[in-house]
Amino acid sequence: MKLHAITLGCQMSAADGSETLARLRERGWAAAESPEDADAIFLTTCSVRDHAEQRALSLIGRLREWKAKDPKRFLVVAGCVAERLGQRLAKRFPHVDLVLGSKKAGSYADLVAEAFAVRNSESPKAIRNPAGGDSVVQSLTIMRGCSCACSYCIVPSVRGPELCRPADEILAEARARLAGGARELILLGQRVNAWRDGDRDLAGLLRELDSLPGLARLRFMSPHPALCDERLFAALAGCRTACEWLHLPVQSGSDRLLGLMGRGYTRGQFLDTARRLRAAVRGVVVSTDIIVGFPSETEAEFAETLGLVSELRPATAFCFKYSGREGTPAAELADDVPAAVKEARLAAVNAVVDRHTAQALQEAVGSMVEVLAETPTFGRTRTGFKARWKSPVAAGRLAPLRVTAATRRTLLGDIHEPHDP
């Protein structure tokens, strides 16, 4: 059985897709390079934004043709769109064989294998091309769902309340990933710093993972700003593998809007968190998320967001126009910021972010930075910047890079001898 995995959406979706593929490979399945080469497609969908959901629906529609070429082909739609629309999805697209909502993410592989066996009444054949869990940088989901109630967010209703994986299971999976060639692990959770296992917290988990042989780098995302504390910052500063990079999603610079969004912090508290982080972790680089055009956002409130971005100086930011998601509390509010105004605000905030990105990249020119080679000529710095060079380095090696120039998003430079075995 050859399975082609397609992911639309966030890193959680991508991790669900690759974890499912890895588990199916243990049962003898293999990855297909393309849909044409595949007996089955596993599509992980995202409904956090309306645009993402529309892309998923359009792709599912187009896969009708793929399925029609061989009715034995097997199409699975998983993830948040599957959770939100459930059997409505199966009704609208009868060529879909299996709909698996995101609340079942922990059992995707078992459910796919069972449904396939029932339909075909034959065991899957082992074939070629290992994929999914083989890259140097791998995501490791440590918790699912979210127990927050941000008013614009559909995650709590499509993924359910927070469910933390036990620490010992996470450590065992991390060891297996490292034995399989991973060098960097990215711990994933919707509110990753809410992770707990008894009296173990994320800071403690970072320290336990830090001592694993073979681990070169450790990141985690996304922490909730209101739960960031000195204990977490100390772990970031003290762990050999913890990278000097933190994604701190702020969403807005206006206290009134942060209240309407239900974010649980004020502008002042957020900026204070960023200040304490920078004081605790030398050279840390921050990225963020911004929503523009939230219902009732005024020009003055948007200006507060621009001001916050200037004060925060994120190296990158994911900025979005608000779009109401059915089933969220914010969808009850009038979506009253005109589309053209949202567009203009998005362009304005992106322009400010771009200036900070350019400045951060330019500041690195002339310095030596450590890169982890993800391919022979591409990798990332500890601070999360993409980097390219010419002399090939084996994937998985840490190497010093002399930065000679920067493009809009990437550092360019020359590699010196790899400095780890």
Rg (CA), the chain: 22
- The number of C-alpha atoms within 13 Å of 92 and in the hemisphere containing its C-beta is 14
Number of residues engaging ligand SF4 in binding (CB under 6 A): 9
Applying CB under 6 A, the span of 75-83, 94-102, 152-160, 348-356 interacting with ligand SF4 comes to 152-160
Residue 155 as a binder of ligand SF4 (CB under 6 A): the answer is yes
Nearer to ligand SF4, 132 or 189 (CB): 189
Cα separations in angstroms, 57 against 18, 75, 93, 180: 21, 14, 9, 35
Q: State the nearest-atom distance from the C-beta of 224 to ligand SF4, in Å.
A: 5
Q: Which is nearer to ligand SF4, 185 or 194 (CB)?
A: 194
Nearer to ligand SF4, 177 or 224 (CB): 224
Cα separation, 371 vs 395, whole angstroms = 11
Per CB under 6 A, 260 contacts ligand SF4: no
Strand positions, DSSP E, 194-348: 196-197, 200-201, 217-221, 245-247, 285-292, 316-321
Tell me the HSE value of 137 on the side-chain side, using a 13 A CA sphere: 20
Contact 79, 44 (CB under 8 A): yes
Residue pair 377/389 in contact by the 8 Å Cβ criterion: yes
Question: Which residue lies nearer to ligand SF4 by CB, 138 or 157?
Answer: 157
CB of 219 to ligand SF4, least distance (A): 17
Residue 262 CB, shortest distance to ligand SF4, in Å, is 8
CA atoms within 13 A on the CB side of 33: 2
Question: Is 150 a binder of ligand SF4 (CB under 6 A)?
Answer: yes
Does residue number 224 form part of the binding site for ligand SF4 (CB under 6 A)?
Answer: yes
- Whether the Cβ atoms of residue 187 and residue 220 lie closer than 8 Å to each other: yes
Is 258 one of the binding residues for ligand SF4 (CB under 6 A)? no
| Distance in Å, CB of 156 to ligand SF4, minimum | 5
Question: Using the rule CB under 6 A, which residue among 22, 56, 81, 146 binds ligand SF4?
Answer: 146
**Residues 6+ away with beta carbon under 8 Å from 265:** 225, 226, 258, 273
Minimum CB–partner distance for residue 409 and ligand SF4 (Å): 25
Q: Which of residues 157-196 bind ligand SF4 (CB under 6 A)?
A: 190-191
Q: Which residues bind ligand SF4 (CB under 6 A)?
A: 146, 148, 150, 153, 155-156, 190-191, 224
